[in-house]
Chains A and B, each alone.
Chain A
Amino acid sequence: MHTQDFPQLASIEVIEQGFESLGYICSTKIATAVFLAFALRKPILVEGPPGVGKTELAKTAAELLQVPLIRLQCYEGLDEAKALYEWKYGKQLLYTQVLKEKLGDLLQGAQGLAESVERLHQFGDIFYSEEFLEPRPLLKAMQQERGAILLIDEVDKSDYEFESMLLEILSDYQVSIPEIGTIKASVSPMVFLTSNNTRDISDALKRRCLHLYIPFPSVELEERIVRSRVPDIDQVLRRQLVAFVHSLRDLDLKKTPAISETIDWARSLLLLHAHQLDEEIIHNTLNVLLKFEDDINTASAGLGELLRSPRRA
């Protein structure tokens, strides 16, 4: 993908505005990463705690550029047959059957074995050819004519072999298929990899990527995010709820509430017609924010404290 085709990515400011118009409020750092990834044709490895909008970033980028988003969810045991390509075995078997029937015509008039074999060699063999190739997400992303956003989600969950396989794709935007040769992307896709840091990604992979760490947002940024996602919510309530979530993040919780939870909570509060945070309403809706019984108990115990001294005050 080239810059001149996509005025949406002309500069960092333009990217920021573009993302904002689609409801994704990003920090300058994120916009810088997108800009650089695009200008330098490098993949971005996005790391950060779950729920800070790593996957959303790729989705929004696809929306902004109006190119298809091709997503590959990684898991243990993901191999190239599921990620890259697979042969259409059924059709290949049929093809051999068809071939056998045609064999008589092909070999007609051939004198002796040697000539038959020669004829056979002259016959174009398409058994291993692109006709019988079933593209999987990675190959598909490279075949898109207008370019694409390729999202390789949770790459830390995949195996080391898969990671090594990615190297060729990420640095040269090409794949090697032993039976055919190398297939190169006509328009290189823009690649986002996300990782939750459940294990260390190999240095070789990291080296090929821009590294973007998205932390939990600041209070101001999170307020802007909530405003853009849940526009109907009252301003006072918004400020209160964001401050409350931030003070929750300071507690020792099993699963710290992320942006997605803040948004969900804001939506639920809106549905309940709440105008202000009080202990009762928090108590009733805490399960939207916290996903473990232990966490809910921890938070409930100090609820009065948390409400009285929000971080900002």
Chain B
Amino acid sequence: MQASLVTFIQLLRSHDVRISPAETLDAMAVAATLGYGERERLRDGLAMALAKTPAEEAIVESCFDRFFGQQMADFSNTREERERGEQESGDPQQNESGAERQPADSGNEADAGSDSLLAELAANDDAVQALLDSPLLQQLQNNDRNALNLAMGTAAEQVGLGQIKMFTQKGQYTRRMLDAMGEAQIRQAIIGLEERQSPALEELRRYRDILREQVRDYVQREYLLHAEGHNARFMDDILSHTRLSHLEQRYAQRVQVLVRKMARKLAERHARKRRTFRRGRLDMGKTLRRGIASDGVMFNTYWRRTRKDKPQIVAICDVSGSVAAYAKFLLLFLYNLQDVLPRVRSFAFSSHLGEVSELFTRYPVEKAIELVNWRYGGATDYGSSLQDFARLALDDINSSTTVIILGDARNNNGDPKLEIMRSIYQRSRRVIWLNPESRRAWGTGDSEMLRYKTACHFAAECNNLAQLERVVDQLLRLTR
């Protein structure tokens, strides 16, 4: 049971519930305290120990039901008979007389009628007899769902069904499971019966089909359980490593969700109090020491002060055609981090530069980004844009300002105005340049990156979400 609890936790992890080893131990303790007897209670208990939000609680509960509550369908007979059984369930006596094959719940007496053909055959054929004696066929004949379920569980473990990742693997795993359960024996018998055109053929075929159906369902269920969450993560993984300019439009929604998720993760990691208080605790040591001068009488009290720090972030984004897609994501990132990032001021430029912070306070982030692109798109001129920036905001840059510049530094052979970059560099706490081009392309053609780089504390290549996340993470660590 412990093993299956661990599997259950792995399953939850694949569904994006973060569970630490310590919590796994907690879950074990919960299970040990509550016992496995009452499913509802155990479910509640596990949800309490493992989930951290109501949303996660819902995930835990639904996974619990799917994982521990694998109920098998009734496969007692063919469909029409099952339906008939349902109709007649209110009147068991009629059922007794009417049905050729009883629903197996009613027990062994059914065997006499239904299995006579096979049984007769078995008397003359050792192979068939052996088959009839095999536990697999026994389970099928007796509709023993528990035993069959158990057998499927064992087979699933043998073939490692828990490793299933892709829907294309379903057929393969079904085959392997059937083999592990000994379906080959039935297959052989069917071939034998076909040759002889035995009347029992239909009967055996039916059992085989039931078995296949059950195994197929089982594999499907396991696939949903194990692979679904995994695939969603796989997708996120791919998206976060794709060049941002290559992301297809149809993934836009998903990428935005992903950015928000990353931003939330970073926000949590860096969330810390920013408010400081004018007066901290009394600094007893200092008060006493200063008191010595006045013969130990403590005239003045000294209080521990906390350093006040008002960090500020200035984002300058190139929104010309070649870089616009990247700017969008950087801004999306920054503005999704508003809870933890102090003041963000953003500027956009291509031929000229302007402040766009106000757009972000007025509109939702996505809308604001569209407006920015529309207003400032065009051919790039780094020189005049830097001049614009100096005029607008250079005075506001001080030792607590972090400046992030996003651009490819391709200046169309204009004047790079490096001296403005230098003064930004000297005044600010940090200058970070993010370049969507790969490092190898820096400085080639009209790229001024190598020159600008000398006026940056940190320059990085940044063209997919994973890199962006890393940079923003670092940024947060350094600014606060």
Interface residues of A (CB under 8 A from B): 12, 28-29, 32-33, 35-36, 39-40, 42, 44, 47, 76-77, 79, 81, 87, 89, 92-93, 96, 100, 159-161, 199-200, 202-203, 206-207, 210-213, 215
Contact = CB atoms under 8 A, between A and B. Distances in A.
Contacts of A28: 40-41, 44
Contacts of A89: 282, 284
Contacts of B296: 96, 100
Interface SS, B side: helix
Contacts of A33: 44, 48
Contacts of B44: 28-29, 32-33
A40 B33 CA distance: 8
Contact of B288 (A96, A203, A210): A96
Given A206-B52, A211-B48, A161 B288 contact: no
B288 to A, nearest CB: 7
B289 to A, nearest CB: 12
Contact of B275 (A77, A200, A207): A77
A87 B275 CA distance: 24
Given A40-B30, A161-B273, 5 more contacts: A36-B49, A44-B48, A81-B281, A207-B22, A207-B23
B271 A160 contact: yes
A203 B51 CA distance: 11
B337 to A, nearest CB: 14
B18 A203 contact: yes
B49 A200 contact: no
B273 A36 contact: no
B277 interface: yes
B309 interface: no
A199 B273 CA distance: 13
Interface of B: 18, 20, 22-23, 26, 29-30, 33-34, 40-41, 44-45, 47-49, 51-54, 57, 268, 271-273, 275, 277, 281-282, 284, 288, 296, 298, 339
B41 A12 contact: yes
A12 B33 CA distance: 11
11 contacts: A28-B40, A32-B45, A32-B48, A36-B30, A36-B45, A40-B26, A40-B29, A77-B275, A87-B282, A161-B273, A207-B22
Given A203-B18, A203-B268, A77 B277 contact: yes
Contacts of B272: 160-161
A210 B29 CA distance: 12
B52 A203 contact: yes
Nearest to B48: A210
B271 A202 contact: yes
A207 B51 CA distance: 9
B199 to A, nearest CB: 56
B52 to A, nearest CB: 4
B257 to A, nearest CB: 17
A39 B284 CA distance: 43
A200 B34 CA distance: 29
Contacts of A203: 18, 52, 268
Given A28-B41, A87-B284, A89-B284, A159 B275 contact: yes
B442 to A, nearest CB: 38
B41 A32 contact: yes
A178 B47 CA distance: 38
Nearest to B51: A211
B271 A36 contact: no
